[in-house]
């Protein structure tokens, strides 16, 4: 597998009225085509900053971002599903194409097919208020997939959901991403979520955040991540990575 993305010595300094905040420093990692990467670390350590830089919403202060091919399209799915209440489900999922002035009949049909495939077909002309929390996340994911991104960035996509829903939705979202053969980077502070879902877990330290360790995860249930949570290997990974996280209670 070839690298779709290479991040080298990435650094971000924010400036505010109190001076400089070094959010991240010397962050380097590689992402292969089709890989599912999780970034974990304590709250405020700079996880969202990494995604914002990758998606060009923030400028880096230093380092390099190298894409494995020209014109890599990035899809960014935020924590809050940010669906527009006054737009139908279809119109919500088409918004990225609309903004990019890239909406045509063929692309619209492709999005309708995604909605049908992933259980939202009968809601196409309904509104976000008609959807459950899990369905809203699925809708937000389809909206992100609509622009046909090469890499999906997911920033704590399940954190607004209650625990049971979160498990179901993370399996759901995982299946869709795999089925659509996407490369994904998920940011989460939920270590169990990271281990169950990812091929590789990147552990960040407290701020100024550097990489503490990168773990390759080899668990058998590649199609249903939550099944992995019951395995002994799962707790082994958990205990190992937990020690790396600087959690002060
Ligand atoms: P995480 O997503 O891991 O919780 P963030 O990337 O959001 O962390 O933030 C990392 C650090 O950078 C935090 O201390 C935060 O307060 C600071 N920070 C984030 N965005 C800005 C900004 N626009 N201006 C100043 N400081 C910021
Ligand atoms: Mg964040």
Predicted confidence pLDDT, tens digits, the chain (249 residues): 689 999 999 999 999 888 999 999 999 999 999 999 999 998 899 999 999 999 999 999 999 999 998 889 999 987 777 899 999 999 999 999 999 899 999 999 999 999 999 999 999 999 999 998 889 988 999 999 999 999 999 999 888 788 888 888 888 888 888 888 899 999 998 999 999 999 999 999 988 899 999 999 999 877 788 888 889 999 999 999 999 886 655
End position of a domain, from candidates 128, 149, 170 = 149
Which ligand is closest to the CA of 79, given by its number? Answer: 2
Ligand 1 atom 7: the closest Cα is on which residue?
48
Q: Do residue 163 and residue 127 come from a single domain?
A: no
Q: Do residue 38 and residue 159 come from a single domain?
A: yes
Q: Can you read off the two tokens belonging to residue 231?
A: 């395995």
Domain enclosing residue 114, as ranges? 82-149
pLDDT at 176: 86
Q: Can you read off the two tokens belonging to residue 122?
A: 């009968």
pTM over 0.95, yes/no: no
Q: Do residue 94 and residue 140 come from a single domain?
A: yes
Radius of gyration of the chain (CA): 18
Our answer on whether the CB atom of 43 is closer than 6 Å to any ligand 1 atom is yes
Q: Do residue 162 and residue 220 come from a single domain?
A: yes
Q: What is the CATH number of the domain that holds 160?
A: 3.40.50.300
Our answer on whether the CB atom of 59 is closer than 6 Å to any ligand 1 atom is no
Our answer on whether the CB atom of 21 is closer than 6 Å to any ligand 1 atom is yes
Distance from the alpha carbon of residue 110 to the mean position of ligand 1, in angstroms: 36
Q: Do residue 184 and residue 240 come from a single domain?
A: yes
Q: Can you read off the two tokens belonging to residue 188?
A: 């989460």
Q: Residue 179: which residues within 8 A CB-CB, separation 6 or more?
A: none
End position of a domain, from candidates 131, 149, 167 = 149
Cis peptide leading into residue 244 (ω within 30°): no
Distance from the alpha carbon of residue 140 to the mean position of ligand 2, in angstroms: 18
Which ligand is closest to the CA of 18, given by its number? Answer: 1
Q: Do residue 125 and residue 236 come from a single domain?
A: no
End position of a domain, from candidates 125, 149, 173 = 149
pLDDT at 248: 57
Q: Do residue 89 and residue 130 come from a single domain?
A: yes
Q: Do residue 7 and residue 115 come from a single domain?
A: no
Distance from the alpha carbon of residue 121 to the mean position of ligand 2, in angstroms: 32
Is 142 in a helix, a strand, or coil? helix
User: CA distances (Å), 182 to each of 26, 36, 107, 205, in order?
Assistant: 27, 8, 18, 28
pLDDT at 228: 87
- Domain count of the chain? 2
| Per-residue buried b or exposed e for 45-63, using 16+ beta carbons within 10 Å of the residue's own CB | bbbbbbbbbbeeebebbeb
- Between CA 63 and CA 7 the distance in angstroms is 8
Backbone angles phi, psi at 34, to 5 degrees: 85, 0
Atom of ligand 1 at shortest distance to CA of 41?
A: 3
- Between CA 101 and CA 85 the distance in angstroms is 22
Closest CA to 55 of 76, 26, 25, 34: 76
pLDDT at 227: 87
Q: Residue 9: which residues within 8 A CB-CB, separation 6 or more?
A: 26, 27, 28, 62, 63, 64
112 in any annotated domain? yes
In this structure, are residues 195 and 39 in contact, taking their beta carbons and an 8 Å threshold?
Answer: no
Q: Do residue 247 and residue 170 come from a single domain?
A: yes
Q: Can you read off the two tokens belonging to residue 69?
A: 């091919």
pLDDT at 107: 95
52 in any annotated domain? yes
Closest CA to 78 of 154, 26, 19, 18: 154
Atom of ligand 1 at shortest distance to CA of 47?
A: 3
SS3 content of the chain, % helix, strand, coil (to 5): 35, 25, 35
107 in any annotated domain? yes
Q: Do residue 129 and residue 157 come from a single domain?
A: no
Q: Do residue 157 and residue 138 come from a single domain?
A: no
Chain center to CA of 239? 23
Distance from the alpha carbon of residue 230 to the mean position of ligand 1, in angstroms: 34
pLDDT at 189: 85
Q: Do residue 103 and residue 181 come from a single domain?
A: no
77 in any annotated domain? no
């Amino acid at each position: 597998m070839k690298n779709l993305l290479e991040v080298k010595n990435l650094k971000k300094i924010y400036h505010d009225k109190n001076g400089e905040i070094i959010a991240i420093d010397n962050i380097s990692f590689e992402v292969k085509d089709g890989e599912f990467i999780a970034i974990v670390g304590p709250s405020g350590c700079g996880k969202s900053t990494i995604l914002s830089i990758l998606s060009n919403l923030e400028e880096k202060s230093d380092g390099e971002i190298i894409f494995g091919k020209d014109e890599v399209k990035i899809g960014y799915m935020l924590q809050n599903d940010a669906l527009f209440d006054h737009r139908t489900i279809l119109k919500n999922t088409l918004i990225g194409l609309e903004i990019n002035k890239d909406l045509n009949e063929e692309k619209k049909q492709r999005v309708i097919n995604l909605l049908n495939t992933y259980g939202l077909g009968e809601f196409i002309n309904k509104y976000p208020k008609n959807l459950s929390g899990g369905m809203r996340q699925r809708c937000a994911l389809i909206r992100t997939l609509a622009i046909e991104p090469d890499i999906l960035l997911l920033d704590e996509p399940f954190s607004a959901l209650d625990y049971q829903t979160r498990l179901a939705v993370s399996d759901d979202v995982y299946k869709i991403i795999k089925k659509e053969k996407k490369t994904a980077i998920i940011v989460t502070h939920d270590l169990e979520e990271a281990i169950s879902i990812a091929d590789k877990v990147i552990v960040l330290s407290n701020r100024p955040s550097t990489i503490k360790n990168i773990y390759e995860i080899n668990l058998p249930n590649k199609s249903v991540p939550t099944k992995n949570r019951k395995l002994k290997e799962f707790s082994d990974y958990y205990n190992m990575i937990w020690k790396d996280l600087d959690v002060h209670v």
